[in-house]
Amino acid sequence: MTAPSFVIGIAGGTGAGKTAVAREVGETVGEAVSILPLDNYYQDHSHLPAEERDQVNYDHPSAFEWELLAEQIKTLLDGRPIEMPQYDFTVHNRTDERVRIEPTEILIVEGILSLFEERLRDLYDLCIYVQTDADVRILRRIRRDVIERDRTLESVMNQYLTTVKPMHERYVEPTREHADVIIPEGLNYSAVDLITKTIHTEMREQEPPISDAS
């Protein structure tokens, strides 16, 4: 039975490069890695009309369904698959789709508040905070939200000033104190190299000893 032997939490502000770091680690290590994006665990807001879903504070800890995330991580740790929810940013809601994730040796949880909840931190073997300057993050966010998330420049600016920035200062940044490793400027290849080496060492340690044939 495969069950994750090493769980990594990757946090950091919006646009910091968390997804890029997680993907690069995943591509370098290969199929032994599964990634759970915290975005997929935004609360289901199907009961709200679209105009109200638009107004939700998506940077406050209450925006996430922590119970479901903790339960699904534990299921994987028990060696059983999960049906991971999917999120559509263009309509601010969870989709009907679920993606089956099989337990793998390495599990990465990435998202703005991945290091916020103590019960999740207790499940991580390594806590990482991606530290990228705010001006770089907002520039990335404007480009991404306008191109990929169907937002106007004005709505991105309003949301940034009313919720994203204050919530970052109040809830996201303080979680840096829980990090074992702080990665400067997002996709930092030296840092990714160190993480993949740590993962390979962990995977070797988990291999059963070669039995003595003599």
Q: Is 188 in the site for ligand CTP (CB under 6 A)?
A: no
Nearest Cα residue to 38 out of 95, 104, 103, 113: 113
Tokens of 24: 């690069």
Choose which of 59, 106, 107, 109 interacts with ligand CTP (CB under 6 A): 59
Q: Is 12 in the site for ligand CTP (CB under 6 A)?
A: yes
Q: Is 16 in the site for ligand CTP (CB under 6 A)?
A: yes
CA distances from 172 to 19, 61, 125 (A): 16, 9, 20
Choose which of 8, 11, 14, 175 interacts with ligand CTP (CB under 6 A): 14
Cα 91 from Cα 124, distance rounded (Å): 31
Cα 7 from Cα 2, distance rounded (Å): 13
Q: Which range of residues in 9-17, 72-80, 174-182, 195-203 is near ligand CTP by CB under 6 A?
A: 9-17
Q: Is 111 in the site for ligand CTP (CB under 6 A)?
A: yes
Q: Is 64 in the site for ligand CTP (CB under 6 A)?
A: no
Q: Is 58 in the site for ligand CTP (CB under 6 A)?
A: yes
Mask of contacts with ligand CTP, 118-147, x by CB under 6 A? ------------------------------
Q: Is 164 in the site for ligand CTP (CB under 6 A)?
A: yes
Q: Is 39 in the site for ligand CTP (CB under 6 A)?
A: yes
For the beta carbon of residue 77, count every other beta carbon within 10 angstroms.
15
Q: Is 94 in the site for ligand CTP (CB under 6 A)?
A: no
Cα 183 from Cα 160, distance rounded (Å): 23
Vertex 6: Cα angle to 120 and 81 (nearest 5) = 75
Tokens of 134: 């705010």
- What's the full length of the chain, in residues? 214
Residue 49 or 208: the one with the smaller Cβ distance to ligand CTP is 49
Tokens of 2: 């495969």
Q: Is 73 in the site for ligand CTP (CB under 6 A)?
A: no
Q: Which residue has the tokens 């939490």?
A: 9
Binding site for ligand CTP (CB under 6 A): 12, 14-20, 37, 39, 42, 58-59, 89, 92, 111-112, 164
